[in-house]
């Protein structure tokens, strides 16, 4: 009779080689997984940076448009102020009315908290100038009115300049 001897069961060379191959494959797979995660994270950060740059560019454009709008109104104001300064006392009603319309236009302009603070300061200065011209027109040859007019015009200029500086700091 032929007796078949059982083969030894245990860890053989083939098993060790298979285990090493499995460990190597897992290591390569894990390194590929880590690299893919790094690449995905870098791509996500780059996309976020592009989005932030686009947003910043859009904000800069909007800010420039807002400043241009306020500057346009201030240019109209300066023209009206020069005209009022050249107008005889008796004919100041029209230039003062024009100044009031410009002041209302700026006062109704709502942009954001920073710009609104600047425009409020400028409008306060405009109010002082309008009041100065009204005093000048109402009280001819009155020394107190003349002093008040000069003070209000000086105050007006200071407040408008302060408002412009505030506006330039807005974003």
Q: Which tens digit of pLDDT belongs to each residue from 76-112?
A: 999 999 999 999 989 999 999 999 999 999 999 888 8
Q: Is residue 51 domain-resident?
A: no
Domain count, the chain: 1
pLDDT at 53: 93
Distance CA 170, CA 67 (A): 9
pLDDT at 14: 83
Structure tokens at 153: 């015009």
pLDDT at 45: 94
CA atoms within 13 A on the CB side of 13: 0
pLDDT at 41: 95
pLDDT at 8: 58
Domain span at residue 156?
A: 66-169
- Provide the 3-class DSSP secondary structure of residue 117: helix
Distance CA 159, CA 118 (A): 10
Residue 23 vs residue 1, higher pLDDT: 23
pTM for this one?
Answer: 0.69
pLDDT at 6: 55
Q: Is residue 163 domain-resident?
A: yes
What CATH number is attached to the domain comprising 146? 1.20.120
Alpha helical stretches, state H, the chain: 13-86, 93-108, 113-138, 143-169
CA gyration radius for the chain? 39
Q: Cβ distance 82 to 119 under 8 Å?
A: no
Distance CA 7, CA 165 (A): 94
Q: Is residue 25 domain-resident?
A: no
Kindly tell me if the per-residue pLDDT of 2 is higher than 70: no
């Amino acid at each position: 009779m032929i007796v078949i001897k059982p083969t030894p069961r245990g860890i053989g060379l083939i098993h060790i080689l298979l285990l090493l191959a499995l460990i190597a494959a897992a290591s390569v797979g894990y390194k590929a997984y880590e690299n893919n995660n790094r690449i995905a994270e870098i791509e996500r950060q780059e996309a976020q940076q592009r989005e932030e740059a686009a947003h910043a560019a859009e904000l800069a454009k909007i800010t420039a448009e807002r400043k241009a709008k306020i500057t346009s109104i201030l240019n109209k104001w300066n023209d009206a102020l020069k005209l009022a300064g050249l107008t005889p006392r008796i004919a100041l009603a029209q230039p003062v009315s024009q100044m009031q319309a410009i002041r209302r236009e700026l006062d109704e302009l709502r942009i954001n908290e920073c710009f609104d603070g600047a425009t409020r300061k400028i409008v306060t200065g405009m109010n002082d100038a309008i009041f100065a011209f009204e005093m000048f027109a109402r009280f001819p040859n009155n020394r107190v009115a003349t002093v008040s007019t000069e003070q209000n015009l000086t105050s007006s200029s200071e407040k408008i300049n302060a408002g412009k500086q505030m506006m330039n700091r807005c974003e």
